[in-house]
Amino acid sequence: MPELPEVETVRRGLEAKLRHRRFARVIVRRGDLRAPMARDFARRVEGRRIERVERRAKYLLIHLDGGLVLLAHLGMSGRMVLGRHGDNALGAPGPHDHVLFEVDDGTELRFTDPRRFGRLELVDESELQAHKLLAHLGPEPLGKDFTAGLLSAALAGKRTPIKAALMDQRVVAGIGNIYACEALYWADISPKRLARTCTGIRAQRLVAAIRKVLRRAIAAGGSSLRDHVQPSGELGYFQHSWAVYGRAGEPCPRCKAARVPCRIRRIGQGNRSTFYCPRHQR
């Protein structure tokens, strides 16, 4: 599943390649995504210029001229693929290439999504803030509003484990399972600790750790468990390694110098797997 760093990497690629270009033609081959696409989607998008591409949590917000925003979510398996229109490298559209956007410079943007949990919606710019998918989101983890004070306040009354609280989109937006595990690891906080005890200095460590793991991954060009086509159009996928995620049974990188090395443990929390070091995460 694409996490925030992948979405940010896609955003950067889209912004670099599409800004000030125009969608000349849009072909909806299959519109029954997570939410059915509007019947007039293609007609409303065709001819519009791309003004800028923003991101909120894991939503891409493609601002078009005339005050229209194309809100896109990659869901479980969605990808944005850019290539030259009609190019062999892009190939003929396959069964999972649901929407084709022909750009006025001869490139083509494809929305590809085998599992169809993604979304493509059109929203008036004036209604964006109040949109049901965006209205309740907490602060952006890389934004200046996300401070230890704010996080402390959000966690103060919470009796859930901190891992679950970090994945609560009202507390902080866009943190999924992988980065919740990684941030807790670098903050030396057990995923089982009650959220309301993660205020003060622990909240400071958490904010710093969340920013660190996200920034590192973005710098690495995003990371994914599956192949993820770079928005530059390059085929291929990022290899990214995590400190704890997916590493059950391996020595903890921070504690491996200890005489008896401790190993990364995997537990179930909710219906997700959590990976952590039982020695230094308290």
The widest CA-to-CA distance across the chain, in whole angstroms, is 66
Q: Does 277 bind Zn ion (CB under 5 A)?
A: yes
Residues 242 and 246: their CA atoms lie apart, in Å, by 8
Residue with tokens 């001869």: 106
Give catalytic status of residue 102 as yes or no: no
Give catalytic status of residue 110 as yes or no: no
Residues 243 and 218: their CA atoms lie apart, in Å, by 16
Give catalytic status of residue 108 as yes or no: no
Q: State whether residue 254 is helix, strand or coil.
A: coil
Please report, in angstroms and rounded to a whole number, the separation of the first and last CA atoms in the chain.
Answer: 28
Question: Residues 11, 12, 58, 265: which is the catalytic one?
Answer: 58
Q: Does 24 bind Zn ion (CB under 5 A)?
A: no
Q: Which stretch binds Zn ion (CB under 5 A): 55-63, 73-81, 140-148, 255-263?
A: 255-263
**DSSP string covering 14-34:** HHHHHTT-BEEEEEES--BSS
Q: Does 133 bind Zn ion (CB under 5 A)?
A: no
Q: Does 254 bind Zn ion (CB under 5 A)?
A: yes
Which neighbouring-strand residues pair with 20? none
Q: Which of residues 223-252 bind Zn ion (CB under 5 A)?
A: 252
Q: Smallest gap, in angstroms, from Cβ of residue 274 to Zn ion? A: 14
Q: Smallest gap, in angstroms, from Cβ of residue 184 to Zn ion? A: 12
Q: Does 34 bind Zn ion (CB under 5 A)?
A: no
Question: Residues 193, 211, 272, 279: which is the catalytic one?
Answer: 272
The site that binds Zn ion (CB under 5 A) totals a number of residues, namely: 6
Residue type, 95: P
**Active-site annotation, residues:** 2-3, 58, 272
Residues that bind Zn ion (CB under 5 A): 252, 254-255, 277, 279-280
